[in-house]
Structure 1
């Protein structure tokens, strides 16, 4: 399900978490950066044209790239609804986010993988399909406890550690990176009121941190990006 811009604003305003203008800003930057990290060629300006102006940015753009970006509307809406409702992290929330992000892109969107896979260039192997349900139950329980009980540096390191662990489980046949970064957004909006967005210009260091399980390094990257985001953030009614 791909929301149009008016419906997106309606859903966002109902949550009371973000002003519509800031929601558009977060949507464009998360959709652009997370998709670009995976190789999508749309620019940030293209992304704004597609998501805010609701126009096709460039003739000849592959339909897949348009969906990779536009599907973030549903994901952001689901994240903010979960935060507004005080919804804890569950396996269902994870699969729903994947389903929204991979709508029109994967036949098994919202479902765990059923075939073994390999990450090109990685020094590790993802979990086997038979292991995924149990590993995800354990991941959800640990991540939810940490999000609810830790703060400060310990919390950021827990978010970094859980993201690395999620990517190593690699529970889906495709879309794991986008889903994992959406989960970072959920965890950080829930805790700080605004998201940590991994930027495409940080891709090389970010991928290296995932490969080497560099928890302190990823936590520092998230802290840096949260500090920058704080300058952009305007709570509803602030006029920012």
Structure 2
């Protein structure tokens, strides 16, 4: 019988997460695959093996590719370390948390063009970087918009996992539409999505690079309609894909 979204939720709740060591064990493979796919969606060229080397050894041997891609992978590791204790104490999503996450994920990665325009990691964009016709508010509107979605999220009543997933989906789509930073909006948004899920006892999700067209389509639907049903359905599919594996006999099993 195929594994369902509800099976993943039930299995996740069996885990006792009390320490950072517990998180490291539970998210051992997840954090590597999440970092790889989140960066890959943006076109980074670091392999899964190289990403794992960074997470486990803090270095990569014999790498000859783009250094920015290497920095982005290391930044993913640093961001995971930064968020671990906050996950355990269930720190709320705030403007300050978002700025810190962006600074870590984009440290050393702004290109010369952005730097000359006055852009810096850890600060909101100073110039307009729109995507299409409906994504990206003006720089002067960013702080108010970010504070608004944080307040809306933190005022929400999380009675069950379905409400958590819908709230996380709404926040992610809203954050991507704001386009608050000169760079790193996607990586920051995907990190915050999982942070919201985890502080509310819902398993985190890998948005796989091979499914990014569906991801972009679901975001676009929200941009034009404000509806999140399609994005929520996409997240459920990705969650099942994230937490299942297939053994040599072709049988599925939960890998949590």
Per-residue Cα deviation, 1:132-169 (whole angstroms, up to 9, x for no partner): 011111010112223x5342333322211111110011
Per-residue Cα deviation, 1:27-81 (whole angstroms, up to 9, x for no partner): 2111100000000122212321332244426532111000111111121122221
Q: Which residue of 2 aligns with 1:99?
A: 103
Q: Which residue of 2 aligns with 1:7?
A: none
* Structure of larger gyration radius: 2
In the alignment, is the contact (CA less than 8 A) between 1:16 and 1:84 conserved in 2? no
Given the alignment of the two structures, is residue 203 of structure 1 paired with residue 212 of structure 2, yes or no? yes
In the alignment, is the contact (CA less than 8 A) between 1:159 and 1:219 conserved in 2? no
In 1, Cα distance between the equivalents of 2:91 and 2:192? 13
Q: Which residue of 2 aligns with 1:236?
A: none
User: Which residue, out of 105, 109, 133, partners 2:143?
Assistant: 133
Q: CA RMSD in A?
A: 2.2
> How far 1:170 sits from its partner (Å)?
0.7
> How far 1:22 sits from its partner (Å)?
3.5
How many residue pairs match? The answer is 218
In 2, Cα distance between the equivalents of 1:190 and 1:16? 16
Provide TM-score, normalisation by structure 2.
Answer: 0.77
In 2, Cα distance between the equivalents of 1:189 and 1:226? 13
Q: Which residue of 2 aligns with 1:166?
A: 175
Q: Which runs of 5+ in 2 are unaligned?
A: 1-16, 244-253
Q: 1:50 to 1:80 in 2, by over 3 A?
A: closer
> How far 1:14 sits from its partner (Å)?
5.3
User: Which residue, out of 129, 140, 146, partners 1:117?
Assistant: 129
In the alignment, is the contact (CA less than 8 A) between 1:34 and 1:200 conserved in 2? yes
Per-residue Cα deviation, 1:158-193 (whole angstroms, up to 9, x for no partner): 211111110011111100000000001101111235
Per-residue Cα deviation, 1:101-128 (whole angstroms, up to 9, x for no partner): 0111135111111111122xx3424100
